[in-house]
Chains A and B, each alone.
Chain A
Amino acid sequence: MLYFLQQLINGLTLGMMYGLIAIGYSMVYGIIGMINFAHGEIYMIGAFISIIAFLLLGVLGVTWIPLALLLVLLIAMAFTAAYGWTVERLAYRPLRGSFRLAPLISAIGMSIFLQNYVQLLQGANVKAVPPIITGGWILAEQDGFAVRISNVQIMIILLTLVLMAIFSWIIANTPLGRAQRACEQDLKMAALCGVNVDRTISLTFVMGAALAAVAGLMATLYYGVVDFFIGFLAGIKAFTAAVLGGIGSIPGAMLGGLLLGLVEAFWSGYFTTEYKDVAAFSILVIVLIFLPTGLLGKPEIEKV
């Protein structure tokens, strides 16, 4: 039972990060119907910017951890968002109205480019970050086995919940969120209502990238190691999460992320760590075969 509880905590933490990345995939797919395969790299860039920001703040003498964390969070979100915006502007917008596969190919190219760009700039070796948030809590103890939740895990779970609340509120209540939903439901009609569609799409990339940056920061704090290749696996996992939840659906992305995190944690805990990726991707295959619209997705047909 305690062991189960421990895996639950680990799985939730992992799932929160997957969910944050998955939202970026889902929103972009919802509006322009493309899979942004460079999104995993955006997350990786978010992680690198977090490290650089930590180092800079250290040099500047900002050592009070809560303040440093807040600043790093804001810096990472802002700069990563700029990357997201630029990627859309350079690699996808010129191809709008082109054949359906074109932006997809461009996205794969962008993904390879960004990996190599970071590799050249930062080097190929793994960057280790000393633990910044330390400590934790023992929730229960029995027969020498203790269920622990670290402060990093608490921070990850709480921060994700707060961001999700803010983000859902934006989508549900602001003119920007309404415009995004309108674009998602009927791009042409949104334009006929006077929505600046290009700007709305840009802002969608910006929001998705900002959330991925937060996941990048969390990964930095949680794992303590970052390299130029982490975006690949995380990206595909988050994509799996988005498909599992129903691509195009934002609550679906979060739910898919959580489920995927839990599956991975339980698989690692009860079977074998080596095959946890196999378990994750088996889900992708099974969902695509038996439930192509995902858990919360809607079928394509919606014409009057």
Chain B
Amino acid sequence: MLEVQDVHTHYGHIEALKGVTLEVRRGEIVTIIGANGAGKTTLLMTICGDPRASAGRIRLDGEDITHLPTWEIVRRGVAHAPEGRRIFPRMTVLENLKMGATVNGEQWFEEDVEQVFALFPRLKERLHQRGGTLSGGEQQMLAIGRALMARPRLLLLDEPSLGLAPNLVQQIFRAIVEINRSRGLTILLVEQNAFQALRIAHRGYVLATGEVVLQGTGRELLANPEVRAAYLEGGH
């Protein structure tokens, strides 16, 4: 579904991605793990066209989306719950969800909103509250819910567990698995919480200083001594 081929991304003179190649197949949860500054967030944003890849190809279902503007990429079925959640702070929860549905307009709004509430009942209680006043966990639920409102083919998630209490982390990860299983939605998940991410992922890539250094199934990577040493023990 998504093919990233030898993608380079620059911030000014700094090369944040140094030729990343990866693939996400339909129905998979693929995770990208790696330390701070490895380029994980940059990779997701580059897939969305902001910043633009300075070299390489990004294909979505065979179509080259490397040079499309961000909103065109989103219209082709890529939804992103980005780093820092980026909830619209002075819009209500409902309006944030409406923004998520921008690409579809009103046509499936009622139905999709109910599905989001089924996944995150808390959002229903907060429906008319401003986004900026939500707790971190609620904001994360809203960020994922907002992305789902676009009815994406591919869902990008950037560190959904960051800064959340352990029970909320569990809830978010359960929701991710649920979205993947029940709807067959393809998910590309960036995480620092490598243990949790690899447990739910079909496959994973390890990113270090802008390059893919390891790849394999979730189980393989969990068992890999290098991965264990660098990302699982020690830190978590």
Q: Which residues of A contact B (CB under 8 A)?
A: 175, 178-179, 181-182, 185-186, 188-198, 302-304
Question: Which B residues lie within 8 Å of A185 (CB)?
Answer: 88-91
CB < 8 Å: which of A175, A182, A193, A304 contacts B74? A193
Mostly helix, strand, loop or mixed at chain A's interface?
A: helix
With contacts A178-B99, A302-B89 known, what are 4 further pairs, Cβ within 8 A?
A: A182-B99, A185-B88, A192-B74, A194-B71
Q: Indicate which residue in B70, B86, B105 contacts A175 across the interface (CB closer than 8 Å).
A: B105
CB A146 to nearest CB in B, in angstroms, measures 47
Interfacial chain B residues near A302, Cβ < 8 Å: 89, 132
- Nearest Cβ on chain A to B146's Cβ, whole angstroms: 7
Are the C-beta atoms of B86 and A186 separated by less than 8 Å?
Answer: yes
Cross-chain pairs A/B with CB under 8 angstroms, 21 sampled: A175-B98, A178-B95, A181-B91, A182-B91, A185-B91, A189-B82, A189-B86, A189-B88, A191-B69, A192-B48, A192-B82, A193-B150, A194-B75, A197-B70, A197-B71, A198-B69, A302-B132, A303-B84, A304-B87, A304-B89, A304-B132
**Set of chain A residues within 8 Å of B48, measured between Cβ atoms:** 192
Question: Is B50 an interface residue when CB atoms closer than 8 A count as contact?
Answer: yes
Contact of A181 among B74, B79, B90 (CB under 8 A): B90
How many whole Å from A193's CB to the nearest CB in chain B? 5
Complex Cα spacing A122 to B70, Å? 43
Whose C-beta in chain B lies nearest to the C-beta of A199? B71
Contacts A178-B98, A189-B88; A304 near B139 (Cβ below 8 A): yes
Question: Contact at B71–A186, with CB atoms within 8 Å?
Answer: no
**Quick check: B88 and A188 within 8 Å, CB to CB?**
no
A59 to B87, CA, bound (A): 55
Distance, CA A294 to CA B19, complexed state (A): 48
Q: Which residue of B lies closest to A200 (CB)?
A: B71
CB of B103 closer than 8 Å to a CB of A: yes
Residues on B with beta carbons closer than 8 Å to the beta carbon of A198: 69
Contact B84 A193 (CB under 8 A): no
Least CB distance, A130 to chain B, in whole angstroms: 47
Q: Give Cα A88–Cα B84 distance, bound, in whole angstroms.
A: 31
